[in-house]
Amino acid sequence: MNFEQSTLLKQLPDQFFAALVQKAAKKINEGVDVINLGQGNPDQPTPQHIVEAMEEAVRKPVHHKYSSFRGSQALKEAVCEFYSREYGVTLDPDTEVAILFGGKGGLVELPLCLLNPGDTVLVPDPGYPDYMSGVALAKAEMEMMPLTAENNFLPDYGRIPSQKMKDAKLMYLNYPNNPTGAAATAPFFEETVKAAKDNSICVVHDFAYGAIGFDHKKPISFLQTKGAKDIGIEIYTLSKTYNMAGWRVGFAVGNASVIEAINLYQDHMYVSLFGAVQEAAVTALLSEQSCVDQLVELYEKRRNVWVKAVREIGWDVESPAGSFFVWHPVPKGYTSVEFSDLLLEKAGVVVAPGEGFGAYGQGYVRVGLLTSEQRLREAAERIGELGLFRKINHFS
């Protein structure tokens, strides 16, 4: 007997990355040596000292019981110390920190915490597809904020109709940005705070790639902006900073009323994260941070290798300021999907078509720097052999 899915589930957007995985798996099953640059799954192991902290914690009987609602005090205090150390931001562990089941969980559940059906959400385009999932679950409405190269992939609030700004209850931002690799500036965040205050909008800044900035430029936290805690929160995940993607641990920090809403929602959905994972997260946040520096150095080297290699085949691309993604224009005559399919079929290289991130992603593909330098060079060579680009003579 088959039971019909609810109307709510039927209204959810297609899972973009699931289709991408299926395409790649089909080629692998056919015996093709696929170089997968299409996903955002970190390829490095969790640092050993964090693994060892988990091994020790998991043996403690106290963690074999239900964890405390709303997370351990030790982890919330560690989050506050982390933000003070890294960004000079002061937080109250009791009212301004919510422990999350991964950053994605917080991003998707937030509209359910704050919105009613029909409310308006400002969503970046291109942007992380799961923002749309949260909006759909809340039965809210989206107003897309175009991110264009001409504006350094930052939203231009002047381009958003004034009535839509007044109607908006929530805004998603994400810097360093997925998929474009762009970075935010202090003046942009100041402009955001003003726009949010003027229109009573709650800002949620997705800071998933907060540790990954290049060329000696540390990404800035939204909460470093004067007045940011009055109008919004920031969501941080340990997935990228500490290669803990499978551990599913993150946190939200900032406006106390929003934090309380998240905690209340989670009270009804969960108890809390496995205590041993929380204890290991404390170790990650408070221990010596050389593992993070080494990881950023690794990604920067990969970025430099990839950009150099594709420029040599004639693909005119820009270097990202942060994240572990590169955002490339496709050759003339191709859509994003057509170009991505061609690379998979003819070169065995997987990239993510830009239109999966929104209408303004059309004409781009996203490349993930999540494989070795050798494989990145090989991927560029395979693409070059297709003859799609005219090599540029840098000496002319």
Model pLDDT for residues 54-109, shown as the tens digit of each residue: 999 999 999 998 888 899 999 999 999 999 999 999 999 999 999 999 999 999 99
Phi, psi of 45 (to 5 degrees): -75, 160
DSSP code at position 368: E
Of 32 and 47, more confident: 47
pLDDT reading at 17 higher than 90: no
Q: What is the rounded CA–CA span in Å between residue 223 and residue 83?
A: 9
Closest CA to 54 of 266, 248, 269: 248
pLDDT > 90: what percent of the chain? 85
Helix (H) or strand (E) holding 11: none
Q: Answer yes or no: is pLDDT of 372 > 50.
A: yes
Determine contact, residues 316/284, Cβ cutoff 8 Å: no
Question: Dihedrals φ, ψ of 252, to 5°?
Answer: -110, 140
In this predicted model, what pLDDT tens digit does every residue of 275-295 receive, in sequence order?
999 999 999 999 999 999 999
- At 226, list the tokens: 């004067």
Could you tell me the CA-to-CA distances from 195 to 34, 169, 199, 265 in Å, in that order? 45, 12, 6, 27
Q: Is the pLDDT of residue 395 over 50?
A: no
What pLDDT was estimated at residue 391? 62
Calculate the alpha carbon distances from 135 to 11, 33, 178, 362 in Å. Answer: 11, 38, 18, 22
Q: How many CB atoms lie within 10 A of CB 317?
A: 14
Q: How far is CA 31 from CA 27, 209, 219, 295, 358, in A?
A: 7, 34, 41, 32, 32
Domains of the chain as residue ranges with CATH: 9-45+290-384 (3.90.1150.10), 48-286 (3.40.640.10)
> What is the pLDDT at residue 394?
45
Crossing angle of the two packed helices 102-114 and 256-269, in degrees rounded to 10 = 100
The two tokens of residue 354 are 């830009």
Q: Is the pLDDT of residue 396 over 70?
A: no
CA-to-CA separations, 271 to 69, 99, 128, 264, in angstroms, rounded: 5, 11, 27, 11
Please, are residues 23 and 350 in contact by the beta-carbon 8 Å criterion? yes
Q: Where are the beta strands (DSSP E) in the chain?
A: 35-36, 97-100, 120-125, 141-146, 168-174, 202-206, 232-237, 250-254, 325-329, 349-350, 352-353, 364-368
3-state secondary structure 281-342: HHHHHHCCCHHHHHHHHHHHHHHHHHHHHHHHCCCCCCCCCECCEEEEECCCCCCHHHHHHH
What is the chain's mean pLDDT, rounded? 94
| Three-state secondary structure call for residue 163 | helix
Percent of the chain with pLDDT over 70: 98
- Which residues share a beta bridge with 386? none
